[in-house]
C-alpha cells in the first residue's frame, strides 16, 4: 500500500483528535498527516462559559496546538481558503497549496450575528472570548432587572450551554444580593426546556425551584435595541434589561467557498447515518447540529476503530456538517 497524504483542516477538538488517532493507528509508513489551523492555538471553548462570572480569562483556556499533537503530525499555521476537490489540493490564503489523498474537514462553525436583525447591537453571548469578556463587564455593572437567556437560532453547538449559563447567573445574582431585583427567563425554541425529554423533566423543576421562568416555543425573529424587546417567530414579544442569546451559527466560509455547503454553509449529511450526501464521505464528529445528533451523539472513535482510512477522499467532522 502506498503512503497516503492526509490533510486535516482545523486544529480544534475534532481535528486534533483525528490527527493523533490516525498517526497512532497507521504509523509513518502508511500515512503522512498534516493539520492546517488558522491560529495554531487550541481553544477549550467550554471555558468561555465561566468568563462572565469572573472565572479565568480566555487566554487561560488556550494552548499551543503543537503541544497537543503527536510529533508524527505536521502542523501548518495558516488560513485554508479553498478546497479544490477535483485537483485534491487545499489552497491557502497566502498562496501556498497542500495536496492530499484524504482530507478531513474539522473547521467547526462560524458565528453569524448579522443574520438576526438587532442582534449585533443588543445581545450578549459567551461563544467567543471577546463576547464573554464584554458580558463579564456588563454583568459587573448589572444592578437588577429583567434578564432573558436563550438561543438566537438553531443549530448551535453545545445545547446545554445556555441552561448552564442560566443556573450560573442565578447563583451569581444571589451572591451579589440582587436576586430579589432580578427576573430571569429562559427561552427555549422547542416545546420543552431541553431537547432530551428526560433531561428536560429533570431540569424544569430545578429552574422553578429557583424562581426562573421559562418560555417555550421561542424562536428569535428580531430584536429592537431601542425599545429593548425581542420578538419570536411565534409572535411573542418580551422586554429585557439584559439579553443573552447564543448567536446564530453557520458553516465556515471555507466550506462555502469550496462549494461544499448548503444554503447555511453546512455540509449536508444523511439524517440517519450522518454521512455526507455529496459523495460517500465519512462523518466522525460528536456534536453534529442535527435533530438526531441532539439526541444520540455519533462516535468520535468510529474512524479509529475501523483501523483503516475512509473509503472516500474527504471526511467532514462535527460542526462542519448538518443532518437534513
Ligand X SMILES: Cc1cc2nc3c(=O)[nH]c(=O)nc-3n(C[C@H](O)[C@H](O)[C@H](O)COP(=O)(O)OP(=O)(O)OC[C@H]3O[C@@H](n4cnc5c(N)ncnc54)[C@H](O)[C@@H]3O)c2cc1C
Cβ neighbours, 10 Å, residue 182: 21
Cα–Cα distance between 179 and 182 in angstroms, integer?
5
How do strand 89-92 and strand 97-99 relate by DSSP bridges? antiparallel
DSSP state of 2: P
Nearer to ligand X, 161 or 221 (CB): 161
Q: How far is the CB of 42 from ligand X (least distance, A)?
A: 7
Q: Are 222 and 231 in contact (CB under 8 A)?
A: yes
The H or E element that residue 317 is part of is none
Nearer to ligand X, 39 or 211 (CB): 39
Exposure string over 38-56, b if 16+ CB within 10 A, otherwise e = beeebbebebbbbbbbebe
Nearer to ligand X, 200 or 231 (CB): 200
- Please identify the residue of the shown chain whose CB is closest to the bound ligand X: 12
Q: How far is the CB of 36 from ligand X (least distance, A)?
A: 5
Nearer to ligand X, 170 or 318 (CB): 318
Q: How far is the CB of 255 from ligand X (least distance, A)?
A: 9
Cell of 212: 426562573
End-to-end CA distance of the chain: 36
Nearer to ligand X, 221 or 310 (CB): 310
Q: How far is the CB of 213 from ligand X (least distance, A)?
A: 23
User: What are the residues binding ligand X (CB under 6 A)?
Assistant: 9-15, 36-39, 45-46, 48-49, 79-80, 106-108, 126-127, 157-158, 161, 252, 254, 287, 317-319
Nearer to ligand X, 3 or 60 (CB): 60
- Where on the phi/psi map is residue 226: left (φ > 0), alpha (ψ -120 to 50), or beta? alpha
Nearer to ligand X, 15 or 310 (CB): 15
How do strand 267-269 and strand 242-246 relate by DSSP bridges? unpaired
Burial class (CB in 10 A: 0-12, 13-18, 19+), 190: middle
Q: How far is the CB of 17 from ligand X (least distance, A)?
A: 8
Q: How far is the CB of 258 from ligand X (least distance, A)?
A: 10
Q: How far is the CB of 227 from ligand X (least distance, A)?
A: 29
Amino acid at each position: 500500500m502506498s503512503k497516503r497524504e492526509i490533510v486535516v483542516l482545523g486544529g480544534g477538538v475534532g481535528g486534533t483528535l483525528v490527527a493523533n488517532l490516525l498517526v497512532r493507528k497507521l504509523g509513518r509508513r502508511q500515512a503522512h498527516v498534516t493539520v492546517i489551523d488558522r491560529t495554531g492555538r487550541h481553544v477549550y471553548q467550554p471555558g468561555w462559559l465561566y468568563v462572565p462570572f469572573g472565572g479565568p480569562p480566555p487566554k487561560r483556556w488556550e494552548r499551543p496546538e503543537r503541544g497537543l499533537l503527536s510529533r508524527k503530525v505536521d502542523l501548518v499555521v495558516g488560513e485554508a481558503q479553498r478546497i479544490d476537490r477535483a485537483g485534491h489540493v487545499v489552497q491557502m490564503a497566502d498562496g501556498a497549496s497542500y495536496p492530499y489523498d484524504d482530507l478531513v474537514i474539522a473547521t467547526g462553525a462560524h458565528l453569524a450575528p448579522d443574520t438576526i436583525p438587532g442582534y449585533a447591537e443588543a445581545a450578549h453571548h459567551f461563544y467567543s472570548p471577546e463576547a464573554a469578556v464584554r458580558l463579564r463587564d456588563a454583568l459587573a455593572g448589572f444592578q437588577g432587572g429583567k434578564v432573558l437567556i436563550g438561543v438566537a437560532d438553531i443549530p448551535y453547538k453545545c445545547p446545554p450551554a445556555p441552561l448552564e449559563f442560566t443556573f450560573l447567573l442565578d447563583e451569581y445574582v444571589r451572591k451579589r444580593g440582587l436576586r430579589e431585583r432580578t427576573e430571569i427567563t429562559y427561552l427555549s425554541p422547542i416545546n420543552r426546556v431541553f431537547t432530551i425529554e428526560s433531561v428536560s423533566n429533570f431540569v424544569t423543576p430545578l429552574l422553578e425551584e429557583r424562581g426562573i421562568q421559562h418560555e417555550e416555543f421561542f424562536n428569535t425573529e428580531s430584536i429592537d435595541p431601542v425599545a429593548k424587546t425581542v420578538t419570536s417567530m411565534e409572535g411573542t414579544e418580551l422586554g429585557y434589561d439584559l439579553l443573552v442569546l447564543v448567536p446564530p451559527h453557520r458553516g465556515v466560509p471555507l466550506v462555502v467557498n469550496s462549494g461544499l455547503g448548503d444554503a447555511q454553509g453546512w455540509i449536508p449529511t444523511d439524517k440517519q447515518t450522518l454521512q455526507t450526501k455529496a459523495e460517500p464521505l465519512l462523518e466522525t464528529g460528536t456534536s453534529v447540529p442535527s435533530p438526531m445528533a441532539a439526541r444520540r451523539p455519533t462516535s468520535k472513535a468510529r474512524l479509529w476503530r475501523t483501523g483503516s482510512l475512509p473509503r472516500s477522499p474527504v471526511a467532514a467532522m462535527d460542526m462542519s456538517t448538518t443532518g437534513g
